[in-house]
Amino acid sequence: MSPAGTADEQLIKALFDDHAGPLYGYVLRLTGDTGRAEDVVQETLLRAWRHPDALAGKPIRAWLFTVARNLVFDQHRARRSRPQETGDEALAVMPADDELERAVESWAVAEAIAALRPEHREVLVHVYYQGRSVRETSDALGIPAGTVKSRTYYALRALKLALEERGLAP
């Protein structure tokens, strides 16, 4: 394996590891179709890999979300029998609007939650997403109420750090 090939593979893996999760979640919401979402994520990361210049000095997550969204919308247009290709340049210059900013932010939060240790994520799911009380969570998970409380506490502290790492100060 050549060094350049390895470097390319490392770049691709890094792009995938760093961004594929939130990007996939975002695109899946837009398309509602896992197959199409996979295709769009693939194409988006491919463009990032091929155009490191376009990414220099830009917030990469916003760039990726912009490219992905436009790919999805291009497909919508194409499906309405108006084939239209958007070049890489056009894709990259579109500024991030409020909606996109919010999307980038929510998926960063999802990513931060995903980065938590499993037992922390688990109590968050119960206490936050399912709105359960400590006692209900304790019953559901079969762990003492004290453990639910301490895990919730440490989950929030860890989440605060994870959010700050992603530039989201609560």
Partner 1 sequence: MMTCEEVRLSLGAHAFGALEPDEAVLVEAHLAECVACAAEFDELSAVSGLLGRVGHVSESDVAQVVSPPVVVLDRLLKVSAARRRRSRLLLALAASVVLLAGGGAAWGVLSGSGGEDASIAAEQYAASSPAPVVSGDGPASGAAEDSAVLGKESAKPETGPGAEGAEEPSVTAQVPAASSPPQTARDGGDVRVLESASPRESVMKAAPDVVMSGVEGKVTATVRAAARATGADLTVTVSGADLGAVYRLDVVGADGTREKAGTLEVASAADAVFRATTTMPLTTVVRFELQGDGDVVIRIPVKSR
Query: Which listed range, 55-63, 68-76, 77-85, 99-107, lies at the site for partner 1 (CB under 8 A)?
Result: 99-107
C-beta of 73 vs 153, nearer to partner 1: 153
Give the HSE-up count for residue 93: Cα atoms under 13 Å, Cβ half-sphere: 5
Residues within window 11-40 making contact with partner 1, judged by CB under 8 A: 12-13, 16, 20-25, 28-29, 34, 37-38
CA distance 150 to 123: 10
- The least CB distance from residue 65 to partner 1, in Å, is 14
Residue 28 to residues 34, 44, 59, 146, Cα–Cα distance (Å) = 6, 13, 21, 37
AA letter at 139: D
Q: Determine phi and psi for 57, rounding to 5 degrees.
A: 75, 5
Instruction: List the one residue from 58, 76, 77, 135 that touches partner 1 (CB under 8 A).
Output: 135
Residue 80 gets the label, from left (phi > 0), alpha (psi -120 to 50) or beta, of alpha
Q: Is residue 65 at the binding interface for partner 1, with CB under 8 A as the rule?
A: no
DSSP-derived secondary structure letter, 81? T
Instruction: List the one residue from 55, 60, 94, 125 that touches partner 1 (CB under 8 A).
Output: 125
C-beta of 94 vs 154, nearer to partner 1: 154
State how far Cα 36 lies from the chain centre. 16
- Which residue ranges make up the site for partner 1 (CB under 8 A)? 1-5, 8-9, 12-13, 16, 20-25, 28-29, 34, 37-38, 41-42, 45-47, 49-51, 53, 88, 102, 105-107, 109-111, 113-114, 121, 125, 127-130, 132-135, 137, 146, 148-157, 159-160, 163, 168, 170
